[in-house]
Structure 1
């Protein structure tokens, strides 16, 4: 622990505590710290419970918070060791049952922790218990819910009624000009105080800006074209369809109702879901709200991301001085990453990014703002489904900062994989 008053990176605190727990290798990364998914699926929601202790989820921790986080993690060491052991059983039995739904870590990390809580370390009956848990999870899980959803939307009368309802409510008015919404958002970015956040959260700023994008010229209040941000295809947001077969487009605001309900099915345990018609109606109401988010505070959080996005250009280096300090800090957080500096040198012609051209990787690096907004919207949609929202300005800052960080880590991993895969060729040309 550093001296009093010195904040520490949360990731460093977690890594230092994690290496003191033996027997958790399957939950650990190559450097010995916890995997990103271990943090996301086990440590934060189940061990630390950051929803109830948001002060322990911030990127920088004061000494007292760092000590509390370390204590919580070490106190749960026996259960974490059991979780690692159960995960091995779940992974083996999942393969035997030929279950492919969802990412194995996303699905099995929380389930392994649940089994560790119920039974401790796995015993001789562990394979049977793992099979039973997997069948209970998947038998009435996503696949059954999706089948019900598909059957419901395939009913011609249901589809006609919902489509008419969507179109009827699509062109609504938030009662606030888009220019005024941007001004309110800019005021919060410059101030970042609880007072400014309360004013912003009570306003219709988020919905107003989202609804403005449905009108020709409505995006003129933004400093970056919406096509560059991955929000929509044309100059106005099209009414999302109920169903779009083989949908894979990235346009956030034009995702079908069916795709959004599928996301809800993934986020909610089977026991917490309502009937499929109620899930569809909930999502229909979200679709017609600004930015497709029902809670005004969450629409405002996404609008804030849209306003900040033009400053997130790490490949260009430091943001201009006229950009608000918070936006410059976010950009600097990524711009000083080693993989970004390497990419900048490569694009300047000083050294190859990879031995062979990798236009897809370069495109993703250039489109950092789009990647950030995609991840932010998914996070906020999850909040909307569960009825969560930021409590204060610090929560909003932590949310945005965390999404920037996770976007950066994802891109860093892609660059690292490309470099490692082509290391012999890279050495030959360097």
Structure 2
């Protein structure tokens, strides 16, 4: 029971408490300790049950005591649907095994489809044709994903008839790398755009930034020693020409600028989106080779402008500094009010490990890596980066980083406490 004098309660604790009341029926959506999986929160609870975009009182790292019962009630009210979702997920995984499908992560692929099936058909135990429905759902998911597979990509980049030509294209692309030093330092307009984009984006200024190639100009600094590594984009002192590559693992992806061509495309193939526009593997590989040698290693000027804006908007996330623009102030405020961040910053060195402190200090690097990944994915999908959507992108990247780091910080703090 929440005490009256408590002003706020950690969101994760509330979710875990409500989840435990749903019982064993949601076990397929839970981890070994009975809490909802990270993907359950990301793919089901946040977008479909709690919907913090529409109910901002559910969005923070801590929930005001006046909203505690409402958050718990939202999860408990959705209990029957979530239980049915878990049951459908069991059936869909069985259908997947029968179909011999191994590509993609089942939770990423099927969680939201199973939630849809739960709404349409209820519990699969009450549907006489549940097995057929599950098989059709699996087939539909993989039909939507198209015929592009990591195996096809790997076969192409390792084809003996292609290897030499691809290596030559990569060498030539890096020999003619852009470096628009003539306009370096003329980035006027970035701060002006960041002053208003959270409220009303300036479309004319956005177009001017792209036309003047400000993103390209601001990328010149990345070739100076330590700059790109300081932004978390490479482990090297300076960006270097990548390899074509022949293997990739989502769990061991290097920093963005250190990835092979294979790894860059692999990261996009394993994300959840429709890939009709990604069906021409030879064209995709050639385009990625050219992109790797471009400013910010992005092919579109709007994406490069977005990286320059993200660099400036995220300044100070890794240090106690005063904000420079309205967008910068909003991001700093969001990060600094995170309870786990404040706890790490308050604790003396003897009570918190250096690894835990580094997780907090490294948030800006994590932010810029994720911003780059989103812009790179948009380019592969042919999606435009617009002035109107710029603030949602900048703010959404930080929200995503916070969600990932929140649980990790909590675990590290618990481990540090146990060690102490």
What is the TM-score with the length of structure 2 in the denominator?
Answer: 0.71
Q: Cα offset for 1:140?
A: 10
1:49-92 CA-partner distances (Å, limit 9, x unpaired): 99xxxx8699999xxxxxxxx9xx9xx99987754542243346
Show the counterpart of 1:64: none
The answer to whether the 8 A contact 2:248-2:266 is kept is no
Show the counterpart of 1:148: 152
Show the counterpart of 2:358: 363
Q: Cα offset for 1:369?
A: 1.1
Structure 1 gap ranges (5+): 1-10, 62-69
1:83-131 CA-partner distances (Å, limit 9, x unpaired): 4542243346657889765444212213324645775653243245435
Please report the RMSD computed on the Cα atoms of aligned residues, expressed in angstroms: 4.6
With over 3 angstroms needed to count, the CA separation of the structure-2 counterparts of 1:228 and 1:95, relative to structure 1, is: farther
What is the TM-score with the length of structure 1 in the denominator?
Answer: 0.69
Q: Give the alignment of 1:370-381 within 5 angstroms.
A: 370-381=365-376
Is 2:399 the counterpart of 1:405? yes
The answer to whether the 8 A contact 2:248-2:262 is kept is no
Matching residue within 206, 209, 226 for 1:200: 209
Show the counterpart of 2:62: none
Q: Cα offset for 1:419?
A: 4.0
Show the counterpart of 1:294: 299
Cα distance in 2 for residues equivalent to 1:155 and 1:114: 41
* Paired residues, number: 379
Show the counterpart of 2:279: 274
The answer to whether the 8 A contact 2:195-2:327 is kept is yes
Q: Cα offset for 1:159?
A: 2.2
The answer to whether the 8 A contact 1:206-1:297 is kept is yes
Cα distance in 2 for residues equivalent to 1:417 and 1:49: 25
Is 2:192 the counterpart of 1:187? yes
Show the counterpart of 1:161: 165
With over 3 angstroms needed to count, the CA separation of the structure-2 counterparts of 1:389 and 1:58, relative to structure 1, is: farther
Is 2:108 the counterpart of 1:106? yes
The answer to whether the 8 A contact 1:194-1:392 is kept is yes
Q: Give the alignment of 1:219-298 within 5 angstroms.
A: 225-243=227-245, 248=252, 250-267=254-271, 268-269=273-274, 273-298=278-303
Q: Relative contact order: is structure 1 or structure 2 higher (C-alpha 8 Å, sep ≥ 6)?
A: 2
Cα distance in 2 for residues equivalent to 1:225 and 1:28: 41
Is 2:359 the counterpart of 1:384? no
1:7-31 CA-partner distances (Å, limit 9, x unpaired): xxxx99xx9xx99xx99957699xx
